Structure 1
Amino acid sequence: MKKIYFVLVFTFFNLLTSNAQVVGTEVGDIAPEIDLPDTKGNNVLLSSLRGELVLVDFWASWCGPSIKEQPELIKLYNTYPDKFSIYSVSMDTKKPLWLAAIAKQKLPWTQVSDLKYWKSPVVGDYMLQSVPLNFLIDKNGIIMAKNIHGNALNEMVKSLLTPQ
């Protein structure tokens, strides 16, 4: 009986002190994989961008705040062309509107969508409730920040990419 009690207590404390990373959407978690088609229909894995800092940006052509944010993202993207990528996930359901928004804003980075809107599996994986929403992911796929915009995003990217 004592042996069983000891094993249970040991297991309990081991679970409490375990710091193993998990796939999830909180800072410190491993970002869930995304595998969606780009504008040409070719699937692009989020993990294919490992090795650099990546902003996973959920947006839509009909979302005013998403569109308003694009010029700042373009500046940030152009500031760190070899160290920083953006992986945009559109929540659009109409491909012509999605493609028109990309062309109008001249968005140069990876654009993906399955055009299923809220029925996409990515919505559940990232617990998406509204757009814009983003996740800043380090070179190892670890979430560094969540829903970070404007100057806070610029400063964090700068701090992560500027040698100390």
Structure 2
Amino acid sequence: MTDFSAPNPQGKIVSLKESLGKVTIVDFWASWCGPCRKENPNVVAIYKELHAKGLNIVGVSLDKEAKAWKEAIAKDGLVWTQVSHLKFWDEPIAIQYKVESIPATFILDQSGNIVAQDLRGDALKAKIIELLAK
């Protein structure tokens, strides 16, 4: 179990364990990361379609400034749980997951085990559908 706890934009401490769905994507991103922001609409679409079937997402941001982070969440319509220590590349969760570049995605099963990582677009959606069908 790769559990973690971190503050959400409102400052409340949230744990991965309480955010797990049938399938959970842990999505590492940042407001300043172009490729992350480009992928966000795709992730939003997958979430809208599959959240009711058991998909959850936890966004982990490598931002440094709360204002930029919150603005990006609002602008990109990221309605799922978001957490960050606002420590840039020193983000403890990124270190825990050995993230060296973003965007980075980890797909977790119901127990919190990593079953796939770094899928994008159609490949990401196909994997989620496959896992939800189990």
Question: TM-score range, shorter-chain basis?
Answer: over 0.9
1:85 alignment partner in structure 2? 56
Gaps of 5+ in 2: none
Identical columns (%)? 38
1:56 alignment partner in structure 2? 26
Q: TM-score, normalised by structure 1?
A: 0.77
1:102 alignment partner in structure 2? 73
1:113 alignment partner in structure 2? 84
Gaps of 5+ in 1: 1-29
Could you tell me whether the CA contact under 8 Å between 1:134 and 1:146 is conserved in 2?
yes
| 1:135-164, Cα deviation, whole Å (9 max, x unpaired) | 00011111110111111111011111236x
Give 1:51 deviation, angstroms. Answer: 4.4
Give the aligned residue type for 1:103. Answer: A
1:3 alignment partner in structure 2? none
Distance 1:123 1:160, change over 3 A: closer
1:154 alignment partner in structure 2? 125
Larger fraction in strand: 2
Whether 1:139 and 2:105 are equivalent positions in the alignment is no
